Amino acid sequence: MLLVEWQPQARESLLEILDYLGDHNFYAAEWLQRAIEDTVEALPQHPYLFRPGRVPGTREAVIHPNYLVVYRVAFDHIAIVEILHARQEYP
- pTM of the predicted model, to two decimals? 0.94
Domains of the chain (ranges, CATH numbers) = 3-85 (3.30.2310.20)
pLDDT, one tens digit for every residue, the chain (91 residues): 899 999 999 999 999 999 999 999 999 999 999 999 999 999 999 999 999 999 999 999 999 999 999 999 999 999 999 999 988 888 8
pLDDT value of residue 86: 85
Closest CA to 73 of 57, 54, 90: 57
Strand 77-85 vs strand 3-6: parallel, antiparallel, or unpaired?
A: parallel
Please, are residues 57 and 65 in contact by the beta-carbon 8 Å criterion? no
R_g (Cα) of the chain, nearest Å: 13
